[in-house]
Amino acid sequence: MATQQHLQILNPEHDQELRSFSLFPLLPVELRLDIWKLSLRRPRLITVELAPNPEQSTDETRNSLGRAVSGTHYSVTANGSSLLSKLLRVSSEARAATLQFYRVHLPSHFKLCDKEGHGTLFLNPEFDTVHIKPGREIHNFVDLLHDLRAYDPLDVGLRNLAVDNNNVLNLLRIDLPSVKPHLRAAFTDTLANLRQVYFLCLENAGRIYLGPLNGIHTVQGYEFHRSRPIMSTIATFDRVGRDPRQGMDRDLSRVFVGTFEPRQMVYGWHLLLDTWQIRHPCGGPEYRLLVSNGWGSGATAKRAGRITSRESASEWLCKEDERWAKGQERHASMILRRGAKLPIESPEELERVPRPAIGFWLFPVEALGPMPGLEGGFDEYHNSSVWRAKRVVDMRQHWPELCLASMP
């Protein structure tokens, strides 16, 4: 009997019963606090969107720590699920430990699908990676980096940053002379002391290749890359190390790295550092290319839904499987002409494919291939003949690290 391995989620299921310990209240308070904090020491990937507040002032104000922030001319919206730890509601002791661990308390809006609210985004600079989407007002990116330090009692701010192609393009457009000296100092110091930088490659077409229909050319034109991870809205994840799944060689031999050339993004980032004269101490940050199947936008997101839990992940996979089956029926004649068989995967083959992973891959940026030198400057960055869209890259020599979303 078929086990439908291609629909069985790889992410481990955490057993809630194993977490209960009736004698916990009898432990010394110092040990209890250490246990609370230890349970919080997990990485998160958080997306925040910035938007202008046209009626608000750009004059500096004071936050709860008595420190100057850049003003109230922009708002922060955090996108994602499970952004607020459950320990905030367990007990006063657990809440105090959680607020101490997540020491940056940033006023924020919250948004997940159609639900919105107001509150405080609690961050830990050492464990949280933040993807900032500044919108049209790119200077708000600079202001936010300044304000994250102002809200940090240790004056650290941001340590781990995720950027996409639009981030880099817009940051390169910042008018340096117009940036106030203290904001510029906070911005350059933050970037100089980053520990990790993730370059995002989130593509909706990353799992189903339709050859001539979507311009992603593979051997026969029609492939389902089931090993490619699927992005969720869940912030917390586990870095499990080298991806342990078998049968990934074909997928890794032709990884779709984006509608836009990701090397241009990496080049632009280093050009930004050079323009701002930012020098990294102690060897600089760890650079990684983050690859996953994106969650879509607009009508695509509404049809497929966003992954917020194990249940929604299962529903997402079933809908994707249905679309793949219908696509084979719709394009049967073209598939056969290109030398493939129908169905493209037999039931026996489906039992051997890698199980779906909800999360993302991390590759070294060297996996993208050689980069041009920065001496080309902005002309090289904008030179369309240097960068190739819709690239498929052989990543087998750079086996990825797998990161799995934390799913109960």
What is the three-state SS of 188-226? HHHHHCCCEEEEEEEECCCCEECECCCCECCCCCCEECC
Output the pTM of the full model. 0.92
111 domain-assigned: yes
Structural domains of the chain, count:
1
Q: What is the distance of C-alpha 400 from the center of its chain?
A: 15
**Residue 155 DSSP SS3:** coil
3 domain-assigned: no
Average pLDDT for runs of 10 along the chain of length 408: 80 65 82 89 95 79 90 89 88 92 95 79 97 89 96 97 93 88 94 96 85 75 92 94 95 91 95 92 90 64 70 93 91 86 90 95 96 91 87 94 93
Q: Which residue range(s) make up the domain with 126?
A: 42-296+326-405
36 domain-assigned: no
Angle at CA of residue 215, ends 213 and 221, nearest 5°:
70
Q: How many CA atoms lie within 13 A of 266 on its CB side?
A: 24
24 domain-assigned: no
Please say whether the beta carbons of 356 and 10 come within 8 A.
yes
The pLDDT of residue 298? 39
277 domain-assigned: yes
302 domain-assigned: no
The pLDDT of residue 199? 97
The pLDDT of residue 295? 60
Rounded-to-integer distance, Cα 389 and Cα 262, Å? 9
Rounded-to-integer distance, Cα 199 and Cα 288, Å? 6
Rounded-to-integer distance, Cα 165 and Cα 266, Å? 9
The pLDDT of residue 120? 94
The pLDDT of residue 184? 93
The pLDDT of residue 149? 96
22 domain-assigned: no
The pLDDT of residue 402? 98
Contacts of 399 (CB under 8 A, 6+ apart): 242, 243, 252
Cβ-based burial of 135 (10 A; exposed 0-12, middle 13-18, buried ≥19): middle
